[in-house]
Amino acid sequence: MEHEDTFNIIKSVVVSRKGGIPLSEINDEFKEYVGHDIPFLEMGYRSLAALLMRVPGLIFERTGHRLILQVHDDKTAHINKLVNLQEQSNKENTVPSLVTRNRKHRNQVAEHNYWVNRRMSESKVIDKHHTRTRHGADRTVEYVGTLRITIRQ
């Protein structure tokens, strides 16, 4: 892919987002669109930010603690106008509730705990105490421990 093609794809990704796109999300959006990361190393740049600074018409704006990329040039002005007239997308603002997001996981954990507890109640536990002595050149160390053996019936 040539430099100009990559630059055009980056600009189209940025223009498609109302209000620009955060620097932290540009590579993910590019990858979703093209299928691979932005090839800044192959293009001779040390970092993604260095490549983005060379894209004509792409500007950086700081909003709070985030760095937002926006495109301002004559070729994309009409697209910017159309995108800005669109209603705000809820995609980036909504977060699934914890109830729906974790329901499946909670059910799996509950089922796992049920079977573990059932197995433990049907098993016989034997505690064995053991002592182990290690002799070194200048000292002797004694380890004392308990070994728990579970036998399922």
pLDDT in tens, the chain (153 residues): 688 888 888 888 887 777 778 888 889 989 988 899 999 999 999 998 888 888 888 877 777 666 666 676 666 665 656 666 666 655 555 545 444 555 555 556 666 666 556 555 555 555 556 666 666 666 666 666 665 555 554
pLDDT at site 145: 63
pLDDT at site 121: 56
Side-chain-side CA neighbours of 52 within 13 Å: the count stands at 25
Domain holding 51, by residue range, is 3-85
| Closest by Cα among 18, 21, 12 to 81 | 18
Pairing of the two strands 58-63 and 21-22: unpaired
Q: Residue 43 domain-assigned?
A: yes
CATH number of the CATH domain containing 39: 3.30.420.610
**Helix 3-15 and helix 26-34, axial crossing angle in degrees, nearest 10:** 110
Task: Order across the sheet with 66-71: list the strands.
Answer: 21-22, 66-71, 58-63
Q: Residue 8 domain-assigned?
A: yes
Rounded to whole angstroms, the Cα distance separating 37 from 90 reads 26
> In 3-state terms, what secondary structure has residue 144?
strand
Helix boundaries (H) for 87-131: 98-121
Total domains in the chain come to 1
Q: Residue 100 domain-assigned?
A: no
